[in-house]
Amino acid sequence: QAVVSTFQSNGAVQASIVVAGAYKGAAAFVSIRGSSAKVRNLRRDARCTVLTVTDGWHSYGVVEGMAQLFDASNTDSDQLRVLLRAVYNACGGREHPNWEEYDQVMRQQKAVAVLVHPERIYGLLR
Protein backbone atom coordinates (compact mmCIF):
# COMPACT_ATOMS: atom_id res chain seq x y z
CA GLN A 1 0.00 0.00 0.00
CA ALA A 2 1.03 3.57 -0.59
CA VAL A 3 -0.19 7.13 -0.33
CA VAL A 4 0.00 9.25 -3.48
CA SER A 5 -0.02 13.01 -3.01
CA THR A 6 -1.06 15.21 -5.93
CA PHE A 7 -1.86 18.90 -6.27
CA GLN A 8 -5.39 20.24 -6.59
CA SER A 9 -6.12 23.24 -8.82
CA ASN A 10 -6.11 25.53 -5.75
CA GLY A 11 -2.60 24.32 -4.81
CA ALA A 12 -3.72 22.17 -1.88
CA VAL A 13 -2.33 18.66 -1.60
CA GLN A 14 -4.68 15.72 -2.11
CA ALA A 15 -3.69 12.33 -0.69
CA SER A 16 -5.03 9.04 -2.07
CA ILE A 17 -4.43 5.47 -0.95
CA VAL A 18 -3.22 3.18 -3.76
CA VAL A 19 -1.53 -0.17 -4.22
CA ALA A 20 1.90 0.61 -5.66
CA GLY A 21 5.03 -1.18 -6.72
CA ALA A 22 8.28 -0.73 -8.62
CA TYR A 23 8.18 -1.11 -12.40
CA LYS A 24 11.17 -0.47 -14.70
CA GLY A 25 12.77 2.09 -12.41
CA ALA A 26 9.56 3.94 -11.61
CA ALA A 27 6.99 3.84 -8.86
CA ALA A 28 3.84 2.44 -10.45
CA PHE A 29 0.16 2.19 -9.68
CA VAL A 30 -3.14 1.81 -11.53
CA SER A 31 -5.97 4.25 -11.05
CA ILE A 32 -8.93 1.99 -11.66
CA ARG A 33 -11.23 4.95 -12.27
CA GLY A 34 -9.85 7.18 -15.00
CA SER A 35 -12.11 9.97 -13.76
CA SER A 36 -10.65 10.03 -10.24
CA ALA A 37 -9.44 13.24 -8.62
CA LYS A 38 -5.85 11.99 -8.57
CA VAL A 39 -5.90 11.41 -12.33
CA ARG A 40 -7.45 14.84 -12.97
CA ASN A 41 -4.80 16.41 -10.74
CA LEU A 42 -1.95 14.55 -12.47
CA ARG A 43 -3.19 15.53 -15.93
CA ARG A 44 -2.99 19.17 -14.88
CA ASP A 45 0.21 18.94 -12.80
CA ALA A 46 2.35 15.80 -13.11
CA ARG A 47 4.27 16.41 -9.87
CA CYS A 48 3.50 13.87 -7.17
CA THR A 49 4.85 11.94 -4.21
CA VAL A 50 4.44 8.23 -3.45
CA LEU A 51 4.91 7.21 0.21
CA THR A 52 5.16 3.57 1.25
CA VAL A 53 5.27 2.40 4.87
CA THR A 54 6.03 -0.99 6.38
CA ASP A 55 3.27 -2.82 8.23
CA GLY A 56 4.67 -1.83 11.62
CA TRP A 57 5.16 1.84 10.64
CA HIS A 58 8.89 1.55 11.46
CA SER A 59 10.27 2.13 7.97
CA TYR A 60 9.16 4.16 4.99
CA GLY A 61 10.23 5.18 1.51
CA VAL A 62 9.26 8.22 -0.55
CA VAL A 63 9.50 8.78 -4.29
CA GLU A 64 9.06 12.33 -5.56
CA GLY A 65 8.78 12.81 -9.29
CA MET A 66 6.77 13.42 -12.40
CA ALA A 67 3.90 11.11 -13.28
CA GLN A 68 3.44 9.68 -16.74
CA LEU A 69 -0.12 8.55 -17.46
CA PHE A 70 -1.06 5.80 -19.89
CA ASP A 71 -4.67 5.30 -20.97
CA ALA A 72 -6.81 4.64 -24.04
CA SER A 73 -6.34 8.23 -25.24
CA ASN A 74 -2.55 7.99 -25.59
CA THR A 75 -1.66 4.29 -25.70
CA ASP A 76 -2.44 1.52 -28.20
CA SER A 77 -5.05 -0.86 -26.74
CA ASP A 78 -2.77 -3.91 -26.81
CA GLN A 79 0.14 -1.97 -25.29
CA LEU A 80 -2.16 -0.59 -22.58
CA ARG A 81 -3.48 -4.08 -21.77
CA VAL A 82 0.08 -5.39 -21.40
CA LEU A 83 1.13 -2.39 -19.29
CA LEU A 84 -1.89 -2.60 -16.97
CA ARG A 85 -1.17 -6.29 -16.42
CA ALA A 86 2.53 -5.62 -15.78
CA VAL A 87 1.75 -2.87 -13.27
CA TYR A 88 -0.79 -5.14 -11.57
CA ASN A 89 1.92 -7.79 -11.17
CA ALA A 90 4.45 -5.20 -9.95
CA CYS A 91 1.99 -3.94 -7.34
CA GLY A 92 0.64 -7.28 -6.18
CA GLY A 93 3.55 -9.59 -6.78
CA ARG A 94 1.28 -12.27 -8.23
CA GLU A 95 -0.74 -13.18 -11.30
CA HIS A 96 -4.40 -12.21 -11.53
CA PRO A 97 -6.70 -15.28 -11.40
CA ASN A 98 -8.71 -14.14 -14.46
CA TRP A 99 -6.88 -11.83 -16.88
CA GLU A 100 -9.80 -11.58 -19.31
CA GLU A 101 -12.09 -10.32 -16.55
CA TYR A 102 -9.38 -7.91 -15.36
CA ASP A 103 -8.91 -6.54 -18.89
CA GLN A 104 -12.66 -6.03 -19.28
CA VAL A 105 -12.99 -4.15 -15.98
CA MET A 106 -9.99 -1.96 -16.80
CA ARG A 107 -11.56 -1.02 -20.16
CA GLN A 108 -15.00 -0.36 -18.65
CA GLN A 109 -13.62 1.86 -15.91
CA LYS A 110 -11.16 3.65 -18.21
CA ALA A 111 -8.23 2.66 -16.00
CA VAL A 112 -5.01 4.65 -16.11
CA ALA A 113 -1.54 3.20 -15.51
CA VAL A 114 0.65 5.73 -13.72
CA LEU A 115 4.45 5.61 -13.65
CA VAL A 116 6.21 8.10 -11.38
CA HIS A 117 9.74 8.74 -12.60
CA PRO A 118 11.89 9.44 -9.53
CA GLU A 119 13.56 12.81 -9.14
CA ARG A 120 14.19 12.31 -5.43
CA ILE A 121 14.06 9.19 -3.26
CA TYR A 122 14.39 9.19 0.52
CA GLY A 123 13.14 7.39 3.59
CA LEU A 124 14.09 5.53 6.72
CA LEU A 125 14.83 1.81 6.81
CA ARG A 126 15.16 0.13 10.19
CATH of the domain at 108: 2.30.110.10
The mean pLDDT value of the chain amounts to: 95
Domain extent for 97: 2-124
Max Cα–Cα distance, the chain, nearest Å:
42
Check residue 104 and give its pLDDT: 97
Q: What is the pLDDT of residues 35-63, one digit of tens each?
A: 899 999 999 999 999 999 998 899 999 99
Question: Into how many domains does the chain fold?
Answer: 1
Distance CA 28, CA 63 (A): 10
C-alpha of 18 from chain center: 7
